[in-house]
A and B are shown apart, each in its own frame.
Chain A
């Protein structure tokens, strides 16, 4: 727990002090982590007092208020009626105390932290020093755990290495050790150093979770918030990107990972489905500031909160429609310095590779393909028969499995993580660094990332605290050149198209030219390198000032700068004619070129917050008011030259100026916001919260820039009612309900990928056209203007239940929600006869309706075996509720038809209903006329309207690619030093059009997958796969290509062993743990075995990978 930034920390402390004076305490306890707020200042050591016949306790209270001393005393020994007289004017506290207490027959001694213990004068003290260390069930030292002597309130907190020492007055004393998120434990004291292991708490209801601009106890939440622990839920997974680690952990959150390419393997995160036609990415805030989730090192994360409903996220207004993810990083705590190091080494393998036919089968199938399409056979029997001879001339008759040949990369990955934390009372720090290096399945393809973070907390004065967090991320993604754009796509697409009869290397080492575009293997090894460097620097500065009791002001300045520097070098590769003597150049592929791209993005966010907390009896009020000014600017510049002078030089100036080009641009975005929140609770039983945010966005036309987003939520803790006192079913039961509005100003550009900052603008795009051998400027009107544009609004209603049952062994959470998005910003397709791009409109409305269930069970068998099972399941039903009469369907360049129609899911699949395969020519003529050259062996499409012609009027709904029944199962178990973690994850219902993945080639310049050998032929009339053909009649949207992409995957599994402390050399290591883990180890799905259900793209893309890793964690 990090309390230093917690706004209610001071309130907690005052509440605590108040209790101290009221309750029948023996000796007070103040935990070190609660003391973080007390500045050790030197100004408040003098006091002025003039009281007569006052109660001693009250006088002590007055001294506390004037000074920064605090008193610990026993009510029993300090009777309430003890009266004293004190008179002091600007006098030293200790002098005054000494005088006052001696007069009254008491003595005192001073502890650390300006704590003063008051005892009876002359009372002899027995002291037995004891010490020890508190660790978690995974062997991690617990900093800030509370140690209390049973029956007293004497206690102390552990330091950052989990160590503690204190004195007891009785050798039979018992210590009570407690730590948030863990079960409390009672241990008899011993004179030897003790090692105390705490077990993970049974119920997460005791947790404190981070919410927008603050923290709340989980039991007090009225919104739908899921929380994760950095170490327990995320950092153990051997993945390169944090987004991947989120997969399967939270109900209602779907993460899909489309690629395993190093540096491009980020997961796509969707909270409660797809809410808009635009950007559906949630807002991610790290310590309160906008971030890319993948720029955070999982080892730095203390906690993650996912805000799912409007009540929880409305405080973020116009940015929150897709949900919010709040990440809190770990911070230092006072005490001995603590060093932690972990690493792992892993190897990646593709999850799936296509199984292609060999050369001989390829030639037979090519002949079949062309003969089916009216052409002659291409390969004669004599050539085909050559392949039966194992001693054939392989220069003439090669047989290559290209998809496996190109996998020349080691797939090795490693990660090293080091953290150093500690501090004194007034300054605490945590430094961490992480290096991640991932090599690809392809040679010269990889990703390296170095992150550095320094979080510091400074108590400037008693009232003023300051924290400065600085972090950097240096990333470098590399890949071999291709002949055009530079990507893994070239390698995998070539390897999946290249047929087995193409030569890789002739017998004398001459490279084969591939399909004529170059040999991907040679390009991997001898081509230029495309390197994408991205450097991020962030500074997050926060000052908190406690003005008066209950009122805190916070100022926050956050600046980050991303600097991308890409270098794309291509090298011309000549290919030679092996059959000519001497070898002549066949063709030189590519040119010697260099492109350098620079992009710089500034992000600035300044925030001011005021918080006020007040309790009146059982009424508790919290008020928050804030303002924020956020601005972004992106600049880019690129230069290109060709005509290289030396292949080893890769700078612009190393190339000739002839043919050089340059481009550059910039864009800006500003958001100004005001927001407020009221929390009210009565008796901690009836909870209420209201949020209001007003945002002004530069993305809209003046007059339409400002939007207001309210939310309301309420909770009823039924289990706290009197009538629930005698039941033993629910240890906790809460009913929640919320309603709120959220906004979105994020629009995708016409390309469908980039965001645009000027959606309402109609502009002239500048270009050029040559006249008379010189470029002349041109300017094109880019779109139909629309000045009425404004933000999208999402209204969300949520009802939920939280319950803890089975004696706190099982936590249950269920939510049902309806999310309506209106005024969706969209470039409504317009007829092309308009001749301009469509402008953005507030076009459509959409609804997502769903439910989420999560259950977490913590169990224990015997003393040593403990386990937990977490299960989450969610469903979302998406439908377009209003298209304003503009319903449409559209067929993409792959021939896949999708619809945007009222009452149907967004982008649903449409097409013909396939009814089997024509077996005879008579079948063809007997059926309605189908498009294309149809013959036996082709798919039969149903003539839905029975008009004798199969055309677009016969299209029907075929399925939706929006996943339903997304689930995850998290397993954890421990036995003595062994621990096991596993995550199973999957989707219960989703459709995919796998035509581009399963469809056959339409030309010889392609390869056949093994199952295509069973395609329909006259001799194989009962085949289920249509005939091979150069025509597209079977490769159009139809139900034949719609498959269920439901799956279950063992996403992550890890087995660890913590070396018993007694085996470790004293005073150096405090923990040593080794582990093995695996990622994507097995998958159950009905899809064709070379289709990865998570990465539903064809195998021209970099595959998903399975990873096997070995690692260690060491603490000093």
Chain B
């Protein structure tokens, strides 16, 4: 019996021992688990497609119309009634704090784009030359460097001095100090100057949307203009004009933005959208209730008032202006930019008439515009899908009209006023379908009058595009155009409201000139990076 027991035990322990061995051997492999839908960073950077995919990733940051369309609400052009999805109202009315989500969004978006470019630049050299041709490698590098430069140019516009980061950071480098605006701008200028020749003038059909030499030159001109380096700005703008491949669009100012003429020769760089898979929520933010939108970005009276009358005169001097019918006899771009009362606005087959009784777009209706105005410019010609991805029109980032007005402004500021200045301005204001009276040396004989003209031209031409925020800062006019009551439409149609007979007033804004010319460095960023300093007043 004893032997029987022992035998069982012995046999069992043999089994156990055997099982243990199998088990242990299988463990090692069993515990090696790799992600099944992502590529480990250790095995990346081997092939040409690794390179091109990483470069393509950098472009993804250019499609940020969901945030960018709200930028105009931080200027005198637009009013946002809701703090969602972007808490821009407090930025517009001067009650923002350093914890503002909008400051955070643009900061983090810009640096994410910069890191994606740095990632390419740090690693693309690791791909063997057998796998990636040198010309292509240098073009990829140039594309990434352009996107990095683009975001540095944005950053200094928003925040002033900003950390200049040129490589993927190791933890020891996580707390960089800020680099002065001039140094960052100098970096942008030098980068663009270096890379422009590595970039092609144009691409084949499959690569539409990539960065071109024209884009590098145009961004160079913008950077130099914003820096007050007018000589170089004029030269860079002239270089774009000399390329001979860009021109003012002939198919209608409104079509340019709605998505109907995506590949217009006026477009130098645009963030690309694609129906139905690559979408934005633009129609929701800008449209009124009839268009299924939430009227978050709406024009103010100040913007409307800056459009000339058809005689080329501002409303303050033009005899054609009717205060009670402000849509009449105006620069046609007004009606292509703003849906005015007193006119028939048909957008994608829907009629928007805020004056009609019980109109869901009317004053005081839910989700309707507080100012009474709606933007027409940028409203997509196709709206389809969920509210956060219903729009497919490209986000134009740089276009030829800007190059022309940059050229004009730089020359005016330099005092080099010649016919080329008038020509540049007239190409814009006399574009097909607009045809405002030409600016001439008779009407605008000197630097001061031309400066007024070119600034007005930029204002009305680039309404809702991101330029206005940077313009009112560099022209130092924000402290005069921003504060005070914000007005909307003249309410001469709804007697049930207490503002009947007057312009609706949507808010009173404050502007602190000692603080508000720059946004705050995001509060959470300061808490994490002790080497950062806050902007004055925040």
Contact = CB atoms under 8 A, between A and B. Distances in A.
B12 interface: yes
A697 B31 contact: yes
A1005 B84 CA distance: 12
A587 B359 CA distance: 12
Contacts of A165: none
Contact of A830 (B101, B174, B368): B174
B444 interface: no
Contacts of B209: 770-772
Contact of A771 (B34, B111, B208, B387): B208
Interface residues of B, number: 118
A889 B57 contact: no
B480 interface: no
B56 A778 contact: yes
A767 B114 CA distance: 18
A560 B105 CA distance: 43
B31 A889 contact: no
A727 interface: no
Interface string B488-506: 0000000011110010111
B528 interface: yes
Nearest to B537: A949
Nearest to B43: A764
A390 interface: no
B135 interface: no
A1032 B101 CA distance: 13
A516 B94 contact: no
Contacts, number: 311
A473 to B, nearest CB: 27
A659 B97 CA distance: 42
A774 B360 contact: no
Contact of A627 (B23, B93, B210, B505): B23
A1003 interface: yes
A785 B41 contact: yes
B313 interface: no
A627 B19 CA distance: 10
Interface stretch (A188-196, A255-263, A368-376): A368-376
A664 B273 CA distance: 23
B524 interface: yes
Interface in B78-94: 81-83, 87, 89-90, 93-94
Interface stretch (B115-123, B183-191, B405-413, B427-435): B115-123
Contacts of A702: 31-32
Contacts of A697: 31
Contacts of B89: 1030
B65 to A, nearest CB: 14
Contacts of A589: 292
Contact of B507 (A377, A779, A1030): A1030
Contacts of A209: none
A889 B532 CA distance: 16
Interface stretch (A116-124, A833-841, A1064-1072): A833-841
B176 A668 contact: no
A375 B506 contact: yes
Given A774-B206, A833-B111, A698 B32 contact: yes
Interface stretch (A30-38, A546-554, A863-871): A546-554
A933 interface: yes
A769 B49 CA distance: 14
A931 interface: yes
Interface in A991-1005: 1002-1005
Contact of A768 (B30, B278, B496): B278
Given A665-B36, A773-B208, A587 B111 contact: no
Contacts of B278: 768-770, 775
B72 interface: no
A562 B437 CA distance: 72
Given A375-B505, A548-B8, A587-B289, A784 B171 contact: yes
A769 B59 contact: yes
Given A761-B40, A762-B41, A835 B95 contact: no
A1065 B88 CA distance: 76
A933 B95 contact: yes
A779 B57 contact: yes
A889 B525 CA distance: 10
Interface in A660-705: 661, 664-670, 672, 696-699, 702, 705
Given A379-B364, A548-B5, A773-B208, 19 more contacts: A374-B485, A374-B507, A376-B504, A668-B33, A696-B31, A697-B31, A757-B33, A763-B40, A767-B60, A770-B273, A770-B278, A771-B59, A772-B206, A775-B277, A778-B56, A780-B54, A836-B112, A888-B528, A1003-B82
Interface of A: 65, 373-380, 382-383, 483-484, 499, 502, 513-517, 547-548, 551, 553, 577-579, 586-587, 589, 591, 608, 610, 627, 629, 631, 642, 658-659, 661, 664-670, 672, 696-699, 702, 705, 757-758, 761-782, 784-785, 829-836, 888-891, 893, 895, 897, 931-933, 951-952, 1002-1005, 1030-1033, 1036
21 contacts: A377-B498, A380-B497, A516-B365, A659-B277, A661-B277, A667-B35, A763-B38, A763-B41, A764-B54, A770-B274, A771-B210, A780-B60, A780-B116, A781-B54, A785-B41, A833-B111, A833-B165, A835-B118, A888-B528, A1005-B82, A1030-B89
Q: Which 7 A-B pairs have the closest CB atoms?
A: A835-B115, A374-B508, A516-B367, A763-B38, A932-B95, A770-B274, A832-B108
